[in-house]
């Protein structure tokens, strides 16, 4: 059974996080063979996930967040 592009995107996202069932992975594979748009989405989604896993993100300390918020509020009131 052919799935919709919306369902394919959902299955693609689940597959990226190893949450897709075997049936969902098979349905996605068949859909990607036929749909070029979803195939491109899947490829870009995979690359994005790989890049994010390699990146080293650092959150700002709470004090810096408060300073930034105060500066933005001050700039917005001017």
pLDDT of residue 41: 95
- Give Cα 50 to chain centroid, integer Å: 11
The CA distance from 52 to 46, in Å, is: 10
* pLDDT band at residue 76 using 50, 70 and 90 as cut-offs: confident
Q: Please state the pTM of the whole predicted model.
A: 0.66
pLDDT of residue 52: 85
Give pLDDT tens digits for 10-66.
999 999 889 999 999 999 999 999 999 999 999 999 999 889 888 888 888 999 999
pLDDT of residue 9: 96
14 burial type by CB count under 10 A (0-12 exposed, 13-18 middle, 19+ buried)? middle
The CA distance from 75 to 78, in Å, is: 5
């Amino acid at each position: 059974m052919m799935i919709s592009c919306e369902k394919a995107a959902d299955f693609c996202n689940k597959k990226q996080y190893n949450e897709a069932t075997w049936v969902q992975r098979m349905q996605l594979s068949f859909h990607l063979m036929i749909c070029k748009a979803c195939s491109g989405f899947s490829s870009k989604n995979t690359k994005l996930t790989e890049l994010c896993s390699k990146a080293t993100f650092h959150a700002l300390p709470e004090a810096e967040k408060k300073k930034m918020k105060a500066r933005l509020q001050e700039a917005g009131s001017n």
